[in-house]
Structure 1
Amino acid sequence: MQLDLTIEDDRWARPGIAMLAVTAFAATLAHLGIDGTGCEISLLACDDDRIAALNAEFRDRSAPTNVLSWPAADLAAEAAGAAPRPPVPDIMGETALGDIAIAYDTCAREAEAAGKPLSDHATHLLVHGLLHLLGYDHVRDTDATLMERHETEILGRLGLDDPYRD
């Protein structure tokens, strides 16, 4: 797996965003049975101001959010609750999955409010962001159930608590 990491907010160094991303992404790909060799993911570790600008530009929402994803290909399943299509490597064997941005301020606030370590919450958001790149979504209830099940299982394999249980 190739990770193209851009750190715009130095606070991301403290929780070790690079290692968190590699661990979260490798666990997600393995869980879904996707060979990570040749997979390319771009990650922007930024602050609330930057993600708010991205959110406004791409989603017409002028507020910060925790994580955004831009898939390289539309892999979404047509039927509600069905698994997305698997990514397909190009002729060179490379699979561009897409881009993810994660905001430090929102992530830290959410982690503190939930009483969780920042690294655990960031790992959850990285798994969540990659699942979006892989065609998973949470707009329809059955899709949300599938996506949350995968998140819970992946995080459990990493020794982290279910993020959807209090």
Structure 2
Amino acid sequence: MPDRDSPAADSPAREPLVEVILEDDRWEAAGLEPLAERAARAALAGVGRDPDRHEIALLACSDARIAGLNADFRGKPKPTNVLSWPDFDGPVPEPDGDGTGERLFLGDIAIAYDTCAREAEEGGIAFSDHVTHLVVHGVLHLLGHDHEDDAEADAMETLETIVLASMGVPNPYLPQERPSGASPG
């Protein structure tokens, strides 16, 4: 099983896949940058793409900020855990060339601290596991995966659980087991 606490980058020469824009300082204290890098790399590798040939931007924000984005882009003026804006409307092309040139920008993801923390506490799961799941979920959206109908949702959930399992993260779609007598939060 992979070491869940190891740094995201195996080599100091590797360019980050994820550019994190920190608007909420709580994300820095939560260690979002290495966690997001590791999750995005696993998601891309899980669908057979070379993570070193792609780029993603991740806005690490609060509920207030994501509620505004959700209102502007989805007409839903309330906070959500994660949003994504793919850079492609159709199939996502493979990066050009032999990997020595420009990397392919996949799009933007925004993630809200307050909602993520609340959901993790309510679900009795580790905050880092929940955030890892949401980053994987967002990356899969950037690659064209969706959950608009039951078949798409099942396929996306299956892919998420495979990627998360490769990282040692429990299946987020199964009830989490707690020690006898323990309660969440």
Asked if these proteins are the same fold (TM beyond 0.5), I'd say yes
Cα shift readout 1:60-79 (whole Å, capped 9, x = no counterpart): 0000000000000024xxxx
Larger radius of gyration: 2
Note the aligned Cα RMSD (angstroms).
Answer: 1.3
Asked if structure 2 preserves the Cα contact closer than 8 Å seen for 1:87 and 1:97, the reply is: no
Asked if structure 1 preserves the Cα contact closer than 8 Å seen for 2:82 and 2:138, the reply is: yes
Unaligned 5+ runs, structure 2: 1-15, 176-185
Asked if structure 2 preserves the Cα contact closer than 8 Å seen for 1:87 and 1:134, the reply is: no
| Matched ranges for 1:9-88 at <5 A | 9-75=24-90, 85-88=91-94
- Stretch moving more, 17-26 or 6-15: 6-15
Cα deviation for residue 140 of structure 1 reads 1.2
Separation in 2, partners of 1:40, 1:138: 23
Percent of counterpart pairs with the same letter? 54
Unaligned 5+ runs, structure 1: 76-84
Q: Out of 97, 108, 111, which is 1:102 matched to?
A: 111
Q: Which amino acid aligns with 1:134?
A: L
Cα deviation for residue 124 of structure 1 reads 0.3
Number of aligned residue pairs: 157
SS at match of 1:55: helix
TM-score (norm 1): 0.90
Separation in 1, partners of 2:93, 2:113: 29
Q: Give the equivalent residue in structure 2 for 1:164.
A: 173
SS at match of 1:37: helix
TM-score (norm 2): 0.81
